[in-house]
Amino acid sequence: MSLGSIYLKLKQRYQHGLRPLYYMEKVRPRILDTVPMENTVNDACELHVLTWKGDWLNVIWMLKSLIHFGEIDYKLCIHEDGSLGQYEIETIQKHFPAARVIDRGKADSDLTHRLRGLPRSLEYRRQNPLALKVYDFSFYLESDRMLLLDSDILFFSRPVVLLDRIANVEYKLNSFNKDWTNGYSIDHSRVSPTLDFRFPELINSGLGLLHKGVVDIDQCEEFLGLPDIMSHHHRIEQTLIALCASKSGFEFLPGEYDVHLDDFVIHHCERHFTGPIRHRMYSEGIRHLVKQNFLESL
């Protein structure tokens, strides 16, 4: 490796300073010293999250912070994108013994069969791991309600509104957090007038409630025909989920759930540490939880 390459790697590694690196590499693994969360058996709702080799520890932090502060016992379904090894899968299973961990190989077999005759969907899922959030979450859902979660979220107190909407059997809308900027792969101003339903801007698919059947796989095949929907690799799944949620009926979660790039707000119940601020998940989020004796409370 050349000196230039070494310099670039070091620059990238330390670009946000030492604190995020310390909490990511030295403190983050301490979650593995906490006891398993065994009683995740309530089928009134099922939590679904996608993980890979770079963030499986974050998933454990995210789930344990939600289960602890939310005092919930909902079922868990954890999807791996094919990059996890046996150690990572066994460790996740150890900490959530009642969870289903969906192996990518089995999922590929199941979904290839389900998507037969849907060429756009089949090719999209084959090429893009994020497509698992669309097709696999819906296919493997065993409850009437799904709590869809990204791995870059931490909870600091009970998410009251979110959990109340999940628990309220009369609540029929889908509900997600609001994004900090446009996160769709389509031109909203161009496509929205062509739809026969209201399609809000800024739906973020990282945290929210979906009802069973809302993400209709056959409907997604049609949506994949919208102009330019395949134009942005990381935004297609969010666009599809937002379209499905809007078509079925949607409202945003309150403002405290919004994705934002501003300073850490200590009294908010959660924070979604999206890409530009991912380093703050360690230097602010995990650091705050550690200072509040979160690890000791588990």
C-beta atoms surrounding 58 within 10 Å: 25
Per-residue pLDDT at 7:
40
pLDDT of residue 14: 62
pLDDT in tens for each of the 298 residues of the chain?
Answer: 564 554 445 456 667 788 999 999 999 999 999 999 999 999 999 999 999 999 999 999 999 999 999 999 999 999 999 999 999 999 999 999 999 999 999 999 999 999 999 999 999 999 999 999 999 999 999 999 999 999 999 999 999 999 999 999 999 999 999 999 999 999 999 999 999 999 999 999 999 999 999 999 999 999 999 999 999 999 999 999 999 999 999 999 999 999 999 988 888 999 999 999 999 999 999 999 999 999 999 9
Q: Which pLDDT score, from 0 to 100, does residue 265 have?
A: 83
Contact assessment for residue 89 and residue 178, using Cβ atoms and an 8 Å cutoff: no
- The residues with which 148 forms a beta bridge, in sequence order, are 48, 208
In the chain the domains, ranked by start, together with CATH numbers, are: 19-30+37-297 (3.90.550.10)
Strand partners, 42: 74
Provide CB contacts within 8 A for 203, sequence distance 6+. Answer: 176, 178, 179, 183, 238, 241, 242, 245, 246, 250, 252
pTM for the predicted model, two decimal places: 0.94
Please give the Cα distance from 146 to 46 (Å, whole number): 5
Distance between CA atoms of 220 and 124, rounded to whole angstroms?
A: 11
- Bin 210: left if φ > 0, else alpha if -120 < ψ < 50, else beta: beta
A 10 A CB-CB count for 118 gives 18
Do 31 and 290 meet the contact criterion of CB atoms below 8 Å apart? no
DSSP state of 24: I
Query: Could you report how far apart the first and last alpha carbons of the chain are, in Å?
Result: 43
Taken as a whole, the chain contains a residue count of 298
pLDDT tens sequence across 8-30: 454 566 677 889 999 999 999 99
Q: What is the pLDDT of residues 121-158, one digit of tens each?
A: 999 999 999 999 999 999 999 999 999 999 999 999 99
